[in-house]
Amino acid sequence: AWLLPGLVGHAPWKGGDGEHFVRLWLLLQGDVAPQAMAATPPLYYWVASATAWLTSPVLALHDGARLASGVFIALALFFVARSARALYGAEAGWAAALTLLGCVGLLVRGHELNAYTAQFAAASIMLHGMARLPQSARSGWALGIGAALMLLAGGAAEAVLMLALALLLPLLLEAYRSAAARRALLLGVGLALAASAAWLAYLATQAIPFVGVLNLQRWLGGEGLDPSYYPTILAWYAWPAWPLAAWGLYRSRRQWRTPGIVLPLGALAGLLGLYALAAHPGEEQGLILLLPLALLGAAGLLSLRRGAASALMWFALMLFGFIGLVFWVYWSAHDLGSPARLAARLAKLGMTGVGELRPWALALG
């Protein structure tokens, strides 16, 4: 109900949506050499190509490709819920997923062609692996696979940061010092290093520069730095996760040395520090910041008093109900031509296909 609406049924939006579509279209040309990947971390475009091909009988290229964002957002929701269950208990899974879904920043950036959704999903898998290290030997697989996917998604710096955090956890938390947790951690780091070596070797054999594929240009440029960008936009971008996270931290202030506090708080602090060094920061690149805030927000949500929880629920229902109503009115104007004045306004603004009903777009959202 949340993922599909907005993913299909519209031309590429101005900005990141259009830029990623142009890059995908160029990569789909049959005569493009491997060196054309020089500025393109491939994971998102592999999945976008697959979803576009699978849906090509019924959807336009840009609509089918945009479903890749839905795939990665769904993965992130699944793994953030699993992480919350591991950190806070069985009831926390739905709380973390709903907190993440409610974030304003995800509403638009999660419904466009956005290659950073691949990093978003990979980070959620890595966090899940770290959350489960004291509980399951298989968690090392999640950590290592998540790191490999992060590398393919162009998040080399983020992968290194999160692996460093995983290595620090045994120094900070007793739960991570067991023999089983150490074995799982070594497995995850070993998998990440092996996958990284294999990928870098492939790039070297194809003479593909590392800088573009690993997205290192974000950290090598001295121009366009704005260290305050992400802390500033989080006030609205991460709403309502950050107030819930703040409440959760306040409630846990006397017992903060637990995995449920140290892991997401360490990830958030590390990412904010890393992103302070990013050249030309943007909203679409900040999706990963929502993951630790959603985990902390789940802890805060579960500790709310009944009256506060009810008020929050009704506020959310009213707000998103109103937003949903507005979206349906605009859809009706675009596809059905009613109300006529709004349809005429959309046509005047340059929107194509006004008054043309698209059954598959309606069925998929």
Is 8 inside any structural domain?
no
Residue 155 and residue 292 share a domain: yes
Q: Report the alpha-carbon distance of residue 35 to residue 207 in Å, rounded.
A: 7
Q: In this structure, is residue 198 part of a structural domain?
A: yes
Co-location of 89 and 204 in the same domain: yes
Q: pLDDT-based confidence at 34, cuts 50/70/90?
A: very low
Whole-number percent of the chain with pLDDT over 90:
41
List, as one string, the DSSP characters of 35-90: GGGGG--SHHHHHHHHHHHHTTTTS-HHHHHHHHHHHHHHHHHHHHHHHHHHHH-T
pLDDT in tens, 200-233: 998 888 888 888 788 888 887 667 678 899 999 9
This prediction has a pTM of 0.85
- Is residue 134 domain-shared with residue 240, that is, in the same domain? yes
Q: Are residues 234 and 343 in the same domain?
A: no
Domain co-membership, 164 together with 73: yes
Residue 355 has pLDDT above 60, yes or no: yes
| pLDDT tens, position by position, 322-333 | 766 776 676 677
Expressed as residue numbers, the domain containing 297 is 16-304
Q: In terms of domains, do 138 and 264 share one? A: yes
Q: Is residue 156 part of a domain?
A: yes
Answer yes or no: do 293 and 329 share one domain. Answer: no
Number of domains composing the chain: 2
Q: Tell me: do 121 and 169 sit in the same domain.
A: yes
Higher pLDDT, 54 or 365: 54
Q: Residue 11: inside a domain, yes or no? A: no
Higher-scoring residue by pLDDT: 49, 125: 125
- 237: in domain: yes
Q: 172 falls in which pLDDT band (50, 70, 90)?
A: very high
End-to-end CA distance of the chain: 8
Mean pLDDT score of the chain: 83
